[in-house]
Amino acid sequence: EVQLVQSGAEVKKPGESLKISCKASGYSFTSNWIGWVRQMRGKGLEWMGNIYPGDSDTRYSPSFQGQVTISADKSISTAYLQWSSLKASDTAMYYCARISSGRKDWFESWGQGTVVTVSS
Amino acid sequence: QSVLTQPPSASGTPGQRVTISCSGSSSNIGSNPVNWYQHLPGTAPKLLIYRNNQRPSGVPDRFSGSKSGTSASLAVSGLQSEDEADYYCAAWDDSLNGPVFGGGTKLTVL
């Protein structure tokens, strides 16, 4: 069974750094793209970017390019989303999701989400 | 503002059939398949329909999808109280070079 287990909720101050994780199991981690999706409170889903753990090929939405960094450690089947300097506007729920096959395919399995709260 | 346009809400009574529309453009729905996700508050989104009209294993056949031109729709027949959730359409966008989502439709079972 494919499972994506995300790290727990975070409360941070503006300007702090943060790295959240998404641990995959039940399939070959290096064979599927993983995407990150943001949901701000009361809003819809927004694609942030994807990574292919097999070769670390990473693509970003223009809205998030330069704002976050997506990475993966294939030795522990874990993808990451990180910020170097958080803003209050980064407060949101963040989901990782496995993409079915090719990069353009659908989000097949989702993590449970990580709530990030940025407040002074 | 989302790239794909969905009505913010839809409703129906148990047993009814409800449809949710999703409108896009030539760079997304017009040239790529549409996928639908069901999102219950406090849970992870769930893939409901992929490639316009395909259901993953375990999704009831009460859910169906269709696409025509730059629009798509999700139909829920035999509405049940457990169908109350937010529904999102999504498609690859060739201009963005990434997936785009609709703003979501909150389905209420009256």
Q: Dump pLDDT digits (tens) for B28-65.
A: 999 999 999 999 988 999 999 999 999 999 999 999 99
Please answer yes or no on whether A100 and B50 come within 8 Å at the CB atom. yes
Interface mutation vs chain B, best among A5, A40, A45, A109, most B CBs within 10 Å:
A45
Query: How far is residue B54's CA from residue B14's CA, in Å, rounded to a whole number?
Result: 24
CA atoms within 13 A on the CB side of B24: 33
Q: What is the pLDDT of residue B108?
A: 97
The Cα of B78 is separated from the nearest Cα of chain A by a number of Å equal to: 25
- In angstroms, the Cα distances linking A75 to A51, A87, A96 are 15, 31, 18
For residue A46 the two structure tokens come to 């927004």
Kindly determine whether residue A106 and residue B35, on different chains, have CB atoms separated by under 8 Å: yes
> Quick check: helix, strand or coil at residue A50?
strand
User: What residue has token string 């980064």?
Assistant: A90
Q: Report the percentage of chain A scoring pLDDT > 90.
A: 95
**Mean pLDDT score across all residues of chain B:** 96
Identity of the residue in A61, A95, A104 whose CB atom sits nearest the CB atom of B44 = A95
* A77-100: burial string, b at 16+ Cβ within 10 Å, e else: bbbbbebeebeeebbbbbbbbbbb
- Residue B65 β-bridge partners: B74
Inform me whether the pLDDT recorded for A101 exceeds 90: no
Q: What is the mean pLDDT of chain A?
A: 96
Render pLDDT for B78-110 as a digit per residue (tens, 0 to 9): 999 999 999 999 999 999 999 999 999 999 999
Find out whether B100 and B6 touch, Cβ atoms under 8 Å.
no
Q: What pLDDT, in 10s, does the model give residues B19-37? A: 999 999 999 999 999 999 9
Q: Is the pLDDT of residue B77 over 90?
A: yes
**Residue A22 three-state SS:** strand
| Cβ-based contacts under 8 A for chains A and B | 58
User: For chain A, how long is the longest CA-to-CA vector?
Assistant: 41
For position B1, what pLDDT does the model report?
82
> Chain A contact for B17, CB < 8 A?
no
Query: In terms of pLDDT, which residue wins out, A104 or A38?
Result: A38
Which residues does A68 contact at the CB level (< 8 Å), separation at least 6? A36, A48, A49, A60, A81, A82, A83
> Which 8-state DSSP code applies to residue A90?
G
**What do you get for the CA distance between the two ends of chain B, in Å?**
28
Nearest residue in chain B measured CA to CA from A115:
B42
Q: Residue A28's pLDDT is what?
A: 96
pLDDT of B41 reads 82
Q: What is the pLDDT of residue A93?
A: 97
**pLDDT tens by residue, A68-100:** 999 999 999 999 999 999 999 999 999 999 999
Q: Which residue in chain A is spatially nearest to B36 when comparing CA positions?
A: A106
| Residue A33 Cα to chain centre, angstroms | 11
